[in-house]
Amino acid sequence: MTAIAYTVICTVQYKSKEEEWLAWLKNGHTAEVIKCGASSAEIVRMDPEHDGAAPGATYEIRYKFDSRGIFEEYLEKHAPRLRREGYELFPPADGFLYRRTSGEILEY
């Protein structure tokens, strides 16, 4: 069984909104993703010299899913609702830029 890494990259352009967004992540959102299938989650604030040209702070929220099947079930059944919630609370119009990556974990 091959584990899957799923990373949500978010650049928060405005410092004034950063703490509220982090509190939402830490106080419920990442736990909800785990409840919906992820086996672990970590929130990483990227060092400024490595986060690219976008203004603001860049974060990677790294989830691990124990199999592609569990990950695909998460994408189908849970991700639309969780993404919609995030976009409603922290929309791109308020300075939140999102992107996502996923791939097979070869070794850990």
* Domains identified in the chain, total number: 1
User: Could you tell me what percentage of the chain is helix, strand and coil, using 3-state DSSP and rounding each to the nearest 5?
Assistant: 45, 30, 25
Per-chain mean pLDDT for the chain? 92
User: Could you tell me the CATH number of the domain that includes residue 93?
Assistant: 3.30.70.100
State which residues form the domain around 15.
4-104
Residues contacting residue 92 through CB under 8 Å, at least 6 positions apart: 98
pLDDT in tens, 8-58: 999 999 888 999 999 999 999 999 999 999 999 999 999 876 555 567 899
